[in-house]
Amino acid sequence: MHVKFSGPSTQEKRIAVIRSCRNLIWLVGISMISLPTFAQSLTHFTDLYQFEVVVANTKKAERRAGLVNALEQVMVRVTGDKRIGTHPAAADIFAMVDSLVQQYGYSERPVQVVEESADVTDAGADNQGQMFEVPQEIRMETVLSGRFQPAVMERVLRDAELPVWDARRPIVLVLASIEDGAAFRAAHDETVQPVLQSAATLRGIPLKFSESGGLDARTVWKGDRLALEDAAQAAGVDYVQWSRISRQSDDASADGLGWLVEAALYQNGELAREWIFSAVSEEIALRRLVDETANWMASRYAVVSRVGGSSVIGLHVSKVDNLTDYARVQKTLLDLGALEKIELVAVGKGTVIYRVTTHSDARQFEYALRLTRQLMASDAGDDPLQAPIWLGELELFYQLKAN
């Protein structure tokens, strides 16, 4: 479909574009009813707004305290900021917790605890090599669970000029190697993966682990860039978190150097971020590893609404040759978060031009666009189609990847 602009006035040109685009928008809308699912590295996190906290009882005061605790946990995931509970605006949001809840309920679950009277002191040298059972008992704990209202939460956060990171998030392939003496363990080891997954759930980061058939712990330890890139391509992800974690001493109480972590984050084979830090325990090292990755990603993808306005960006997309291609582009844009409006401005042979209004700045919009894996940056000179109207403060040029 090709739109040819003619006539003496800009207004006439714009009318021609609108008329042509209305038909295309209708066709794209119809075709999207049965669109296939296209492989993307972005994934929807299970539910950023669900919560589950332990409370002492079901009394009103305890319920409110539990809801405030739950709200802080959800705000950490949604804003991407682990310290959001200390923000000056947080107190006002906590005060309205009751109006933010969509639903809640109580349940009980068993938990194993060591008996308070149990003697767990050293059994003595005469009993070395023997196994001793520590007396335990099963107790029931009360769990308050539920969900906050996503649309209301996002509006409150934006009104407070706090960042909002939507549920479409890049998957991170975790390739870790832990050296403890002569032994090496990988990220998917049963002693490692649960800790990483727990930390990632708190931050809303989807992790992927290389199971059997992937890189073993000794290979990961070497940190070979080509091997890491191959693993990322095989897993279908944009980000790889590589780390080498080693025990430095058995006693970290004196210098805090029990474990040393060397880590790096790669995107599409390119180094994005490096870290070196120490931790007093293996668990703290693993949790900080996830936190550092979440902090870096939030700085790129969590959107702070611009005070007094939005960003307007022109987007040229080439290699769009048929209705299925149009539908793919449309779906890709609709899946991006923090968008106010998408306008189809012009359609030419193999090219479409959009004007996009977004809550974020142009830099954050482009970061999100690159993560879709459906579009790749192209040269502005490759696009012969010219827009008949002002597109925005920035114009981006992309081409649709072959399906």
pTM greater than 0.75 (yes/no):
no
Least-confidence region, from 27-41, 58-72, 166-180, 323-337: 27-41
**More confident site: 366 or 175:** 175
DSSP SS3 for 221: helix
Q: Do residues 87 and 79 make contact, with C-beta atoms less than 8 angstroms apart? A: no
What pLDDT score does 302 carry?
86
Higher model confidence: residue 208 or residue 44? Answer: 208
Give 78 or 348, the one with higher predicted confidence: 78
Range from 45-54, 97-106, 128-137, 179-188 that averages highest in pLDDT:
97-106
pLDDT at 36 over 50: no
Alpha-carbon distance of 115 to 178, in angstroms, equals 33
What is the pLDDT, as a whole number, of residue 3? 32
pLDDT at 204: 94
Residue 12, pLDDT > 50, answer no
Query: Tokens representing 71?
Result: 């709200």
Quickly tell me which residue has 């332990």 as its tokens.
54
Report the chain's mean pLDDT, rounded to a whole number.
81
Reported as half-sphere exposure (CB side, CA atoms, 13 A), residue 217 has a value of: 16
Q: Which long-range contacts (CB under 8 A, 24 or more apart) does 331-334 make?
A: 331/32, 331/35, 331/38, 332/38, 332/372, 332/374, 332/375
Q: Give the pLDDT confidence of 113-124 residue by residue, as tens digits.
A: 766 555 555 555
Nearest to 364 by CA among 295, 277, 301: 301
What's the whole-number mean pLDDT along residues 140-144? Answer: 95
pLDDT value at 6 more than 90:
no
